[in-house]
Amino acid sequence: MSTETSPHTHPDTTPRAGSETSADTGVGSGATPGAAVVVERLSAGYPGVRALDEVSITVGAGRICALLGANGSGKSTLFKALLGLHRPTAGTVRLFGMDPSRARRRNQVSYVPQHEQVDTSFPVSVEQVVMMGRYGHMGLTKRARPSDRLACDEALDQVGLSELRRRGIGELSGGQRKRAFLARAIAQQAPLMLLDEPFAGVDRGSEELISSVLKALRDTSGTTVLISTHHLAGVEDLADEVVLLHQRVLAAGLPSEVLTEEQLGRSFGAVLRETT
Ligand SMILES: Nc1ncnc2c1ncn2[C@@H]1O[C@H](COP(=O)(O)OP(=O)(O)OP(=O)(O)O)[C@@H](O)[C@H]1O
């Protein structure tokens, strides 16, 4: 990740942009080589609210980047823009050189939302939820093939939910449910994973498990991971790069550069400390 003030990329890792060629992905045609996410001078908001103001971020492929900001700092709005679900007023977003809608259609990005609506009156098992991550791979018939079942089995195993696979999703604890939705994203096997507040409302055990799963995805598959969080705890250990956001990018770089008392104090003052 980098901004104009703190250039930092990771040229050693190649984006796992599916099996597409550079012509398919658009990499090379105005894209930033080796970058999974390029946000340039992005402004976005709602009637009467400026949520993002000229935000520029670059996340190198195969990196874990934490987007750190207090409540209301614009993290969710940025995620919505990255997913093509919120139209910015200015600026551009490119995921592996593609616009967000195209990247989603080409299974380049998976998403783990902060809250997932679970309709307990319509029972869906944990493994059915995880299988939903495979829909983009199944073709028109939407029938699971052996490769889909294998991807689900592996994802359930990674998050430690194999034993609970037949349980209804509504019967899980908050932390277990979060792991189930993480497994759905893992099964999708997209080269970029976005996680909105993955540690909110989970116990210490689930937090450690989620962190180690994300690191394993980076290390074994070269997955680029972008998490939004307002919790300082754990970020230094997990993230390769940190962006401090408060409507604008206040600081960006290596955790050791960004997560200093001085930087946090200058950037957030009391606001961040109150919310961590
Ligand atoms: N649908 C909306 N309509 C109007 N204003 C909104 C809407 N969604 C967010 N906002 C405002 O936009 C700003 C950024 O909100 P956003 O949800 O992106 O921040 P956030 O960092 O994700 O916050 P949190 O950590 O509390 O989820 C805030 O001032 C918020 O009140």
One domain for residues 64 and 155: no
One domain for residues 95 and 119: no
One domain for residues 100 and 222: yes
Which one has a higher pLDDT value, 160 or 11? 160
Please choose, from the candidates 38, 39, 174, 164, the residue with its C-alpha nearest in 3D space to the C-alpha of residue 114: 174
One domain for residues 200 and 173: no
pLDDT of residue 242 exceeding 90: yes
ipTM over 0.95: yes
Domain of residue 263, CATH code: 3.40.50.300
Expressed in angstroms and rounded, the spacing between residue 135 Cα and the centre of ligand 1 is 30
One domain for residues 94 and 202: yes
Expressed in angstroms and rounded, the spacing between residue 245 Cα and the centre of ligand 1 is 13
Please choose, from the candidates 69, 140, 129, 60, the residue with its C-alpha nearest in 3D space to the C-alpha of residue 96: 60
Q: By residue range, what is the domain housing residue 248?
A: 1-108+196-276
One domain for residues 104 and 117: no
One domain for residues 155 and 74: no
Please choose, from the candidates 40, 43, 188, the residue with its C-alpha nearest in 3D space to the C-alpha of residue 112: 188
- Over residues 80-100, the pLDDT tens digits come to 999 999 999 999 999 999 999
Q: Is 69 exposed, middle or buried (0-12, 13-18, 19+ CB in 10 A)?
A: buried
pLDDT of residue 110 exceeding 90: yes
Alpha-carbon distance values, 178 to 115, 118, 126, 221, 268 (Å): 9, 12, 11, 21, 28
Domain boundary among the residues 143, 165, 189 is at: 189
Expressed in angstroms and rounded, the spacing between residue 183 Cα and the centre of ligand 1 is 27
One domain for residues 17 and 102: yes
Cα(236)–Cα(213) distance, rounded to whole angstroms? 16
Domain boundary among the residues 189, 205, 226 is at: 189
Mean per-residue pLDDT, 7-20? 36
Task: Indicate whether residue 246 lines ligand 1 (CB < 6 A).
Answer: no
